[in-house]
Structure 1
Amino acid sequence: MSLPEKAFPVSWDQFHRDARALAWRLSGLDQTFHAIVCVTRGGLVPAAVISRELEIRLIETVCIASYHDYTSQGETKLLKGISEALTKTGGEGVLIVDDLTDTGNTAREVRDMLPKAHFACVYAKPQGVPTVDTFVTEVSQDTWIYFPWDMGFTYQEPIKKGPAQ
Protein backbone atom coordinates (compact mmCIF):
# COMPACT_ATOMS: atom_id res chain seq x y z
CA MET A 1 0.00 0.00 0.00
CA SER A 2 1.39 3.39 -0.93
CA LEU A 3 0.88 6.63 0.95
CA PRO A 4 -2.40 8.40 0.21
CA GLU A 5 -2.22 11.42 -2.08
CA LYS A 6 -3.79 13.83 0.40
CA ALA A 7 -1.83 15.05 3.41
CA PHE A 8 -3.25 16.59 6.58
CA PRO A 9 -0.39 17.90 8.75
CA VAL A 10 -1.43 18.66 12.32
CA SER A 11 0.62 20.98 14.55
CA TRP A 12 0.93 20.57 18.31
CA ASP A 13 -1.28 23.64 18.79
CA GLN A 14 -3.96 22.30 16.47
CA PHE A 15 -3.89 18.85 18.06
CA HIS A 16 -4.24 20.38 21.53
CA ARG A 17 -7.20 22.48 20.37
CA ASP A 18 -8.82 19.44 18.76
CA ALA A 19 -8.27 17.26 21.85
CA ARG A 20 -9.83 19.99 24.02
CA ALA A 21 -12.75 20.20 21.58
CA LEU A 22 -13.23 16.46 22.03
CA ALA A 23 -13.18 16.91 25.81
CA TRP A 24 -15.77 19.69 25.47
CA ARG A 25 -18.06 17.40 23.44
CA LEU A 26 -17.63 14.62 25.98
CA SER A 27 -18.39 16.97 28.86
CA GLY A 28 -21.78 17.69 27.29
CA LEU A 29 -22.83 14.05 27.38
CA ASP A 30 -25.22 12.79 30.01
CA GLN A 31 -22.57 10.33 31.17
CA THR A 32 -19.90 10.23 33.87
CA PHE A 33 -16.62 8.49 33.18
CA HIS A 34 -14.55 7.04 36.01
CA ALA A 35 -11.66 5.81 33.86
CA ILE A 36 -9.95 6.28 30.51
CA VAL A 37 -8.49 3.51 28.41
CA CYS A 38 -6.18 5.04 25.85
CA VAL A 39 -5.20 3.11 22.75
CA THR A 40 -1.45 3.34 22.46
CA ARG A 41 0.43 4.95 21.13
CA GLY A 42 -1.77 7.49 19.37
CA GLY A 43 -4.28 7.79 22.20
CA LEU A 44 -1.71 8.79 24.82
CA VAL A 45 -1.62 12.49 24.02
CA PRO A 46 -5.36 13.11 23.67
CA ALA A 47 -5.99 10.98 26.78
CA ALA A 48 -3.68 13.25 28.78
CA VAL A 49 -5.54 16.35 27.61
CA ILE A 50 -9.00 14.82 28.12
CA SER A 51 -8.13 13.42 31.56
CA ARG A 52 -7.11 16.91 32.65
CA GLU A 53 -10.19 18.60 31.21
CA LEU A 54 -12.65 16.04 32.58
CA GLU A 55 -10.84 15.41 35.89
CA ILE A 56 -10.40 11.68 35.27
CA ARG A 57 -7.44 10.29 37.20
CA LEU A 58 -7.66 6.56 36.40
CA ILE A 59 -5.92 5.96 33.08
CA GLU A 60 -5.24 2.53 31.60
CA THR A 61 -3.69 1.56 28.29
CA VAL A 62 -4.46 -1.03 25.70
CA CYS A 63 -1.53 -1.57 23.36
CA ILE A 64 -2.44 -2.52 19.82
CA ALA A 65 -0.14 -2.17 16.83
CA SER A 66 -1.74 -1.66 13.44
CA TYR A 67 0.68 0.63 11.60
CA HIS A 68 3.82 -1.42 11.25
CA ASP A 69 5.97 0.71 8.93
CA TYR A 70 4.62 4.26 9.45
CA THR A 71 3.13 4.22 5.95
CA SER A 72 0.51 1.51 5.85
CA GLN A 73 -1.93 -0.24 8.11
CA GLY A 74 -1.70 -3.98 8.56
CA GLU A 75 -3.26 -6.58 10.81
CA THR A 76 -3.78 -5.56 14.39
CA LYS A 77 -1.59 -7.13 17.04
CA LEU A 78 -2.54 -6.99 20.72
CA LEU A 79 0.59 -6.20 22.74
CA LYS A 80 -1.08 -5.47 26.12
CA GLY A 81 -4.66 -6.00 27.21
CA ILE A 82 -6.84 -4.08 29.65
CA SER A 83 -6.97 -4.75 33.39
CA GLU A 84 -9.69 -7.03 34.70
CA ALA A 85 -10.89 -4.23 36.97
CA LEU A 86 -12.17 -2.38 33.88
CA THR A 87 -13.20 -5.32 31.71
CA LYS A 88 -15.30 -7.15 34.32
CA THR A 89 -18.19 -4.67 33.85
CA GLY A 90 -17.80 -4.59 30.07
CA GLY A 91 -16.35 -1.10 30.34
CA GLU A 92 -19.35 0.61 31.88
CA GLY A 93 -18.31 4.18 32.78
CA VAL A 94 -15.08 3.84 30.81
CA LEU A 95 -13.98 6.26 28.11
CA ILE A 96 -11.81 4.80 25.34
CA VAL A 97 -9.59 7.43 23.69
CA ASP A 98 -7.59 7.26 20.47
CA ASP A 99 -6.15 9.82 18.09
CA LEU A 100 -7.72 8.37 14.95
CA THR A 101 -10.07 5.73 13.67
CA ASP A 102 -9.01 4.78 10.15
CA THR A 103 -10.51 1.48 8.98
CA GLY A 104 -12.08 0.79 12.38
CA ASN A 105 -10.12 -2.44 12.90
CA THR A 106 -8.45 -1.30 16.11
CA ALA A 107 -11.66 0.23 17.43
CA ARG A 108 -13.58 -3.02 16.82
CA GLU A 109 -10.92 -5.00 18.68
CA VAL A 110 -11.07 -2.67 21.70
CA ARG A 111 -14.89 -2.58 21.58
CA ASP A 112 -14.90 -6.37 21.85
CA MET A 113 -12.98 -5.98 25.13
CA LEU A 114 -15.17 -3.13 26.46
CA PRO A 115 -18.57 -3.30 24.74
CA LYS A 116 -20.25 -0.88 27.20
CA ALA A 117 -17.53 1.80 27.01
CA HIS A 118 -17.82 5.10 25.15
CA PHE A 119 -15.28 5.34 22.32
CA ALA A 120 -13.94 8.78 21.40
CA CYS A 121 -11.25 9.86 18.99
CA VAL A 122 -9.98 13.14 17.68
CA TYR A 123 -10.05 12.30 13.96
CA ALA A 124 -12.13 9.81 11.99
CA LYS A 125 -12.10 8.46 8.46
CA PRO A 126 -15.35 7.27 6.85
CA GLN A 127 -14.63 3.54 7.29
CA GLY A 128 -13.94 4.10 10.99
CA VAL A 129 -16.82 6.47 11.80
CA PRO A 130 -19.32 3.67 12.62
CA THR A 131 -16.91 2.23 15.21
CA VAL A 132 -16.75 5.31 17.48
CA ASP A 133 -19.28 7.28 19.49
CA THR A 134 -17.71 10.74 19.46
CA PHE A 135 -15.07 12.44 17.29
CA VAL A 136 -14.10 15.97 16.31
CA THR A 137 -12.97 16.02 12.67
CA GLU A 138 -13.67 13.70 9.75
CA VAL A 139 -11.10 13.42 6.98
CA SER A 140 -11.37 11.50 3.73
CA GLN A 141 -10.26 7.87 3.63
CA ASP A 142 -7.42 8.72 1.22
CA THR A 143 -5.89 11.34 3.54
CA TRP A 144 -2.78 10.65 5.60
CA ILE A 145 -2.71 12.53 8.90
CA TYR A 146 0.75 13.67 9.91
CA PHE A 147 0.65 13.94 13.70
CA PRO A 148 2.94 16.41 15.46
CA TRP A 149 4.95 13.67 17.18
CA ASP A 150 5.89 12.37 13.71
CA MET A 151 6.98 15.73 12.37
CA GLY A 152 9.83 18.20 12.47
CA PHE A 153 10.42 20.54 9.56
CA THR A 154 10.31 17.30 7.58
CA TYR A 155 9.23 13.75 8.50
CA GLN A 156 11.32 12.48 11.41
CA GLU A 157 12.36 8.85 11.51
CA PRO A 158 12.05 7.30 14.99
CA ILE A 159 15.34 7.38 16.90
CA LYS A 160 15.35 3.63 17.45
CA LYS A 161 14.92 1.48 14.40
CA GLY A 162 14.11 -2.15 14.80
CA PRO A 163 11.58 -4.80 13.99
CA ALA A 164 8.00 -3.61 13.97
CA GLN A 165 5.72 -4.97 16.70
Structure 2
Amino acid sequence: MTDRLPHEKGFHVSWDQIHRDSRALAWRLDGQGPEKGGTWKAVVAITRGGMAPAMIVSRELDIRTVDTISVKSYNWQEQTDPHLLKAPSSELMGKDGAGVLIVDDLVDTGKTLELVRKLYPKAHFATVYAKPQGREMVQTFVTEVSQDTWIFFPWDMALQYVEPYRGA
Protein backbone atom coordinates (compact mmCIF):
# COMPACT_ATOMS: atom_id res chain seq x y z
CA MET A 1 0.00 0.00 0.00
CA THR A 2 1.44 3.33 -1.01
CA ASP A 3 -1.47 5.52 0.06
CA ARG A 4 -0.24 5.77 3.67
CA LEU A 5 0.93 9.02 5.15
CA PRO A 6 4.62 9.11 6.20
CA HIS A 7 3.79 8.89 9.92
CA GLU A 8 1.67 5.79 9.30
CA LYS A 9 4.77 3.62 8.81
CA GLY A 10 4.91 3.38 12.55
CA PHE A 11 7.19 1.70 15.03
CA HIS A 12 5.27 1.56 18.29
CA VAL A 13 7.43 1.47 21.42
CA SER A 14 5.90 0.40 24.73
CA TRP A 15 7.13 1.42 28.18
CA ASP A 16 8.59 -2.08 28.58
CA GLN A 17 10.40 -1.81 25.25
CA ILE A 18 11.90 1.63 25.95
CA HIS A 19 13.04 0.31 29.33
CA ARG A 20 14.70 -2.77 27.78
CA ASP A 21 16.29 -0.76 24.97
CA SER A 22 17.55 1.94 27.37
CA ARG A 23 19.11 -0.76 29.55
CA ALA A 24 20.76 -2.19 26.41
CA LEU A 25 22.12 1.30 25.71
CA ALA A 26 23.54 1.40 29.25
CA TRP A 27 25.23 -1.98 28.72
CA ARG A 28 26.90 -0.65 25.57
CA LEU A 29 28.08 2.45 27.44
CA ASP A 30 29.30 0.63 30.56
CA GLY A 31 33.03 1.16 31.04
CA GLN A 32 33.29 3.39 27.96
CA GLY A 33 33.54 6.71 29.80
CA PRO A 34 36.79 8.69 29.84
CA GLU A 35 37.04 9.02 33.62
CA LYS A 36 38.93 6.61 35.88
CA GLY A 37 37.50 3.11 35.42
CA GLY A 38 35.63 4.13 32.28
CA THR A 39 32.92 6.06 34.11
CA TRP A 40 31.01 9.11 32.95
CA LYS A 41 31.15 12.43 34.79
CA ALA A 42 27.42 13.05 34.24
CA VAL A 43 24.41 12.28 32.07
CA VAL A 44 22.62 15.07 30.23
CA ALA A 45 19.18 14.30 28.81
CA ILE A 46 17.96 16.08 25.72
CA THR A 47 14.41 17.05 26.67
CA ARG A 48 11.89 15.84 26.44
CA GLY A 49 12.38 12.54 24.66
CA GLY A 50 15.74 11.80 26.21
CA MET A 51 14.55 12.08 29.80
CA ALA A 52 13.26 8.52 30.28
CA PRO A 53 16.25 6.86 28.56
CA ALA A 54 18.71 9.11 30.45
CA MET A 55 17.09 8.23 33.77
CA ILE A 56 17.38 4.51 33.02
CA VAL A 57 20.98 4.83 31.77
CA SER A 58 21.99 6.88 34.81
CA ARG A 59 20.42 4.30 37.13
CA GLU A 60 22.05 1.34 35.39
CA LEU A 61 25.48 2.98 35.34
CA ASP A 62 25.12 4.50 38.84
CA ILE A 63 25.66 8.04 37.59
CA ARG A 64 24.19 10.42 40.15
CA THR A 65 24.83 13.71 38.35
CA VAL A 66 22.05 14.31 35.83
CA ASP A 67 21.08 17.50 34.02
CA THR A 68 19.06 18.47 30.96
CA ILE A 69 19.45 20.41 27.77
CA SER A 70 16.20 21.58 26.21
CA VAL A 71 16.02 21.78 22.45
CA LYS A 72 12.81 22.22 20.50
CA SER A 73 12.87 20.73 17.02
CA TYR A 74 9.34 19.40 16.46
CA ASN A 75 5.84 20.84 16.38
CA TRP A 76 3.91 17.59 16.81
CA GLN A 77 5.03 15.53 13.76
CA GLU A 78 6.50 18.45 11.83
CA GLN A 79 10.25 18.87 12.17
CA THR A 80 11.47 22.47 12.49
CA ASP A 81 14.86 24.11 12.88
CA PRO A 82 16.09 23.29 16.38
CA HIS A 83 16.60 26.02 18.91
CA LEU A 84 18.05 25.93 22.41
CA LEU A 85 15.60 26.59 25.24
CA LYS A 86 17.80 25.67 28.25
CA ALA A 87 21.46 24.69 28.58
CA PRO A 88 22.88 22.43 31.30
CA SER A 89 25.06 23.81 34.05
CA SER A 90 28.22 25.40 32.63
CA GLU A 91 30.11 24.14 35.69
CA LEU A 92 29.10 20.58 34.79
CA MET A 93 29.75 20.86 31.06
CA GLY A 94 33.01 22.77 31.15
CA LYS A 95 34.00 24.41 27.91
CA ASP A 96 33.47 21.38 25.65
CA GLY A 97 31.45 18.66 27.44
CA ALA A 98 34.38 16.29 27.97
CA GLY A 99 33.42 13.30 30.12
CA VAL A 100 29.68 13.94 29.78
CA LEU A 101 27.23 11.48 28.27
CA ILE A 102 24.41 13.14 26.32
CA VAL A 103 21.34 10.93 25.85
CA ASP A 104 18.30 11.25 23.60
CA ASP A 105 15.55 8.88 22.56
CA LEU A 106 16.14 9.20 18.81
CA VAL A 107 18.38 10.79 16.23
CA ASP A 108 16.32 11.52 13.11
CA THR A 109 17.92 14.00 10.72
CA GLY A 110 20.66 14.86 13.22
CA LYS A 111 19.79 18.57 13.36
CA THR A 112 19.13 18.59 17.13
CA LEU A 113 22.37 16.75 17.88
CA GLU A 114 24.27 18.97 15.46
CA LEU A 115 23.24 22.00 17.52
CA VAL A 116 24.18 20.30 20.80
CA ARG A 117 27.46 18.94 19.38
CA LYS A 118 28.52 22.48 18.40
CA LEU A 119 28.12 23.48 22.04
CA TYR A 120 29.79 20.36 23.52
CA PRO A 121 32.05 18.78 20.88
CA LYS A 122 33.84 16.43 23.32
CA ALA A 123 30.70 14.97 24.91
CA HIS A 124 29.66 11.42 24.03
CA PHE A 125 26.32 11.26 22.19
CA ALA A 126 24.06 8.23 22.61
CA THR A 127 20.51 7.51 21.50
CA VAL A 128 18.25 4.53 21.86
CA TYR A 129 17.10 4.67 18.24
CA ALA A 130 18.82 6.03 15.13
CA LYS A 131 17.72 6.80 11.60
CA PRO A 132 20.27 6.67 8.76
CA GLN A 133 20.28 10.42 8.06
CA GLY A 134 21.37 11.28 11.62
CA ARG A 135 23.29 8.14 12.56
CA GLU A 136 26.71 9.74 12.14
CA MET A 137 25.84 12.24 14.89
CA VAL A 138 25.86 9.55 17.61
CA GLN A 139 28.68 7.37 18.87
CA THR A 140 26.39 4.80 20.49
CA PHE A 141 22.84 3.63 19.74
CA VAL A 142 20.80 0.44 20.09
CA THR A 143 18.42 0.09 17.14
CA GLU A 144 18.41 1.59 13.66
CA VAL A 145 15.09 2.18 11.89
CA SER A 146 14.44 3.37 8.34
CA GLN A 147 14.32 7.10 7.68
CA ASP A 148 10.63 6.97 6.72
CA THR A 149 9.54 5.23 9.93
CA TRP A 150 7.74 7.29 12.56
CA ILE A 151 8.50 6.13 16.10
CA PHE A 152 5.55 6.33 18.47
CA PHE A 153 6.93 6.63 22.00
CA PRO A 154 4.83 5.57 25.00
CA TRP A 155 4.72 9.10 26.46
CA ASP A 156 2.89 10.22 23.29
CA MET A 157 0.36 7.39 23.20
CA ALA A 158 -2.85 6.24 24.84
CA LEU A 159 -4.36 2.77 24.72
CA GLN A 160 -7.36 2.56 22.43
CA TYR A 161 -9.13 0.24 20.04
CA VAL A 162 -7.61 -0.09 16.54
CA GLU A 163 -9.51 -1.37 13.50
CA PRO A 164 -8.12 -4.60 12.00
CA TYR A 165 -5.87 -4.03 9.01
CA ARG A 166 -8.30 -5.78 6.61
CA GLY A 167 -11.42 -4.29 8.18
CA ALA A 168 -13.92 -5.59 10.67
Q: Same fold (TM over 0.5)?
A: yes
Change (3 A) 1:42 1:128: same
Deviations 1:84-105 (A, max 9, x none): 1133241111000000000000
Aligned to 2:44: 37
Which stretch of structure 1 is more off in the superposition, 76-85 or 22-31?
A: 22-31
Rounded Cα–Cα distance in structure 2 between residues aligned with 1:82 and 1:108: 16
Measure how far apart 1:28 and its partner are.
4.5
SS of the residue corresponding to residue 50 of structure 1 reads: helix
Measure how far apart 1:32 and its partner are.
1.8
Gaps of 5+ in 2: 162-168
Q: Structure 1 counterpart of 2:16, which letter?
A: D
SS of the residue corresponding to residue 72 of structure 2 reads: strand
Aligned to 1:92: 98
Gaps of 5+ in 1: 156-165
Q: Structure 2 counterpart of 1:13, which letter?
A: D
Rounded Cα–Cα distance in structure 2 between residues aligned with 1:67 and 1:154: 24
SS of the residue corresponding to residue 37 of structure 1 reads: strand
2:81 pairs with one of 65, 75, 80: 75
Q: Does residue 7 of structure 2 align to residue 16 of structure 1?
A: no
Contact conserved, 1:3 with 1:71, CA < 8 A, in 2?
A: no
TM-score by length of 2: 0.86
Aligned residue pair count: 153
Rounded Cα–Cα distance in structure 2 between residues aligned with 1:154 and 1:141: 27
Which stretch of structure 1 is more off in the superposition, 139-148 or 31-40?
A: 31-40
Aligned to 2:73: 66
* Structure with greater Cα Rg: 2
Q: Does residue 152 of structure 2 align to residue 146 of structure 1?
A: yes
Q: Does residue 62 of structure 2 align to residue 55 of structure 1?
A: yes
Rounded Cα–Cα distance in structure 2 between residues aligned with 1:125 and 1:53: 25
SS of the residue corresponding to residue 25 of structure 1 reads: helix
Q: Structure 2 counterpart of 1:43, which letter?
A: G
Change (3 A) 1:88 1:28: closer
* RMSD (CA atoms): 1.5
Q: Structure 1 counterpart of 2:106, which letter?
A: L
Q: Percentage identity across aligned positions?
A: 59
SS of the residue corresponding to residue 61 of structure 1 reads: strand
